């Protein structure tokens, strides 16, 4: 009888969770799966963490440099940066296979990054939520990388005026072994309180660190990286660190 009660309780909680998530994410899910072996998708990969498990998304911005969210390289248990040797980047990952892999050789976390903690997990919503993984192998030399645009408020005005298309791609929590892409994103504004870019891309857990980008000539230009989301007026909206913030941080 106790086992039956336990199972009934579990399914009741599961149904409530499903209903709450559905209410929070009421938009149409128009993400598509893509072939991660071709550009620009192969320059995006999974960021795996051996120490605590789980994953995020990262993007190559040079032959041996991956950009991701700072909370992805932060250990909520120790409240310190992850051991470098525990961080891996798998480019073009799909279904347990990848086209290139490298361990991290060093980690650089945005200056002043200090996650806030709630219980045993960190909560982050600041423009300092970004990090750079330097790789042991320059895998981007063979598979390519993204250029980083000096994207700021003025850039945003131009984008909105000219109607540029915006794309987001990541290893979402509900599709962790395939790269899902939202080609119908829009950029709203830069929130002064957090200095973050608000966007409409369909994101879930695992998308942290995923690139938000646009076509730039014959290549692809990085606008920012997704770092978090919240529900506003019944719809989930995303937040991204702008590429200009990252460029400025790297120049310090």
User: Last residue of some domain: 143, 170, 195?
Assistant: 143
pLDDT at 19 over 50: no
Q: Range of 196's domain?
A: 28-36+146-251
Position 22 confidence tier, pLDDT thresholds 50, 70, 90: very low
pLDDT at 13 over 60: no
Together in a domain, 137 and 155: no
Position 10 confidence tier, pLDDT thresholds 50, 70, 90: very low
CB distance 140 to 128 below 8 Å? no
Per-residue pLDDT, 54: 85
Together in a domain, 69 and 114: yes
In degrees rounded to 5, what are phi and psi of residue 15? -65, -40
pLDDT in tens, 66-77: 999 999 998 888
The model's pTM is 0.85
Together in a domain, 118 and 91: yes
Computed on alpha carbons and rounded to an integer, the radius of gyration of the chain in Å comes to 18
Alpha-carbon 132 to chain mean position: 13
Together in a domain, 127 and 166: no
CA-CA distances (angstroms) from residue 231 to 14, 53, 63, 99, 237? 20, 26, 37, 36, 6
pLDDT in tens, 123-180: 566 899 999 999 999 999 999 999 999 999 999 999 889 988 899 999 998 999 999 9
Position 26 confidence tier, pLDDT thresholds 50, 70, 90: low
CB distance 130 to 212 below 8 Å? no
Per-residue pLDDT, 239: 94
pLDDT in tens, 76-125: 888 889 999 999 999 999 999 999 999 999 999 998 888 765 654 445 66
Per-residue pLDDT, 27: 62
User: Last residue of some domain: 109, 143, 177?
Assistant: 143
What average pLDDT does the chain have? 85
User: Last residue of some domain: 113, 143, 173?
Assistant: 143
Per-residue pLDDT, 119: 52
Per-residue pLDDT, 6: 40
Together in a domain, 169 and 228: yes
Per-residue pLDDT, 44: 98
d(CA 190, CA 25): 22
Per-residue pLDDT, 163: 87
pLDDT in tens, 216-237: 888 899 999 999 988 888 888 8
Together in a domain, 228 and 157: yes
CB distance 199 to 154 below 8 Å? no
Position 17 confidence tier, pLDDT thresholds 50, 70, 90: very low
Together in a domain, 137 and 184: no
Q: Is the dihedral of CA 224, 227, 231, 235 positive or negative?
A: positive
Share of the chain above pLDDT 90, in %: 62
Tokens found for residue 139: 């895998």
Q: Would residue 8 count as lying in a domain?
A: no
Tokens found for residue 221: 């230009």
């Amino acid at each position: 009888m106790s086992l039956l009660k336990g199972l009934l309780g579990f399914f009741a909680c599961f149904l409530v969770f499903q209903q709450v998530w559905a209410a929070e994410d009421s938009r149409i899910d128009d993400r598509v799966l893509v072939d991660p072996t071709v550009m620009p998708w192969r320059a995006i990969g999974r960021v795996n963490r051996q120490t605590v498990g789980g994953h995020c998304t990262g993007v190559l911005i040079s032959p041996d440099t991956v950009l991701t969210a700072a909370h992805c390289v932060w250990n909520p248990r120790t409240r310190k940066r992850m051991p470098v040797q525990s961080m891996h980047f798998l480019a073009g990952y799909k279904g347990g296979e990848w086209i290139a892999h490298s361990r991290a050789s060093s980690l650089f976390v945005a200056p002043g990054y200090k996650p806030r903690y709630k219980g045993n997990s960190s909560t982050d919503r600041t423009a300092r939520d970004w990090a750079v993984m330097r790789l042991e192998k320059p895998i981007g030399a063979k598979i390519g990388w993204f250029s980083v645009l000096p994207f700021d408020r003025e850039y945003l005005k131009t984008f909105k005026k000219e109607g540029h298309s915006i794309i987001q791609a990541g290893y979402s929590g509900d599709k962790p072994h395939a790269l899902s892409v939202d080609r119908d994103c829009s950029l709203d504004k830069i929130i002064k309180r957090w200095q973050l870019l608000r966007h409409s891309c369909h994101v879930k857990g695992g998308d942290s660190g995923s690139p938000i980008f646009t076509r730039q000539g014959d290549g692809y230009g990085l606008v920012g990286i997704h770092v978090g989301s919240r529900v506003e007026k019944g719809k989930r909206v995303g937040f991204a660190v702008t590429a200009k913030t990252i460029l400025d941080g790297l120049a310090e």
